[in-house]
Amino acid sequence: MRKSLAFYLCLFLILAGCSKTSTSPSPQPLNPAGIYTVNYTEQSGGTCGPQSASTITITSVSSTFTWTEAGTTVNVGSMSCTADNCKTTVAGNVNVSQGGTTLTGPLSYSVTITSTGMTGTVVFTGTYTGAVNGACSSTYNVTGTKN
């Protein structure tokens, strides 16, 4: 007995429908580039005192990120990004003058950046010179909003 052409066509369409796989595109990693207004809350035991809010600018050129704060720019060593967030550690130096006192020293940020802002910590060990002299050491909680 001969099978009809309609039978084979129907069988082909059923098998073709079963073997077809659907792939959705992979989500793109978050681009952290932008301007952030960042606030600092000193953790207990710190000796540097309260710090003013600052503006941090993150720029991206071919997956190389730079971090600019208070006129100082550093290259970000590594930044790991998923579709939801980026995690990075940024090291730099502070040199801030205010009210006759200069605060200098190294700092290190460890932050998670999302599409709306950043959270994390910054560790600072520095020296006051001028109207006030002495060493200090503090860890601050960092909370930033993307502008």
Place of tokens 């006030």: 132
pLDDT at 22: 55
Residues 80-107 pLDDT 10s: 889 999 998 888 777 777 778 888 888 8
Spell out the alpha helix ranges (H) of 1-132. 5-19
> Burial of 96 by CB count in 10 Å (0-12 exposed, 13-18 middle, 19+ buried)?
middle
Whole-model pTM over 0.75: no
Note the Cα 45 to chain centre separation in Å.
26
Give the residues of the chain that fall short of pLDDT 70: 1-24, 61-64, 70, 75, 77
Residue 109 is predicted with a pLDDT of 87
Quick check: 76 and 95 in contact, CB under 8 A? no
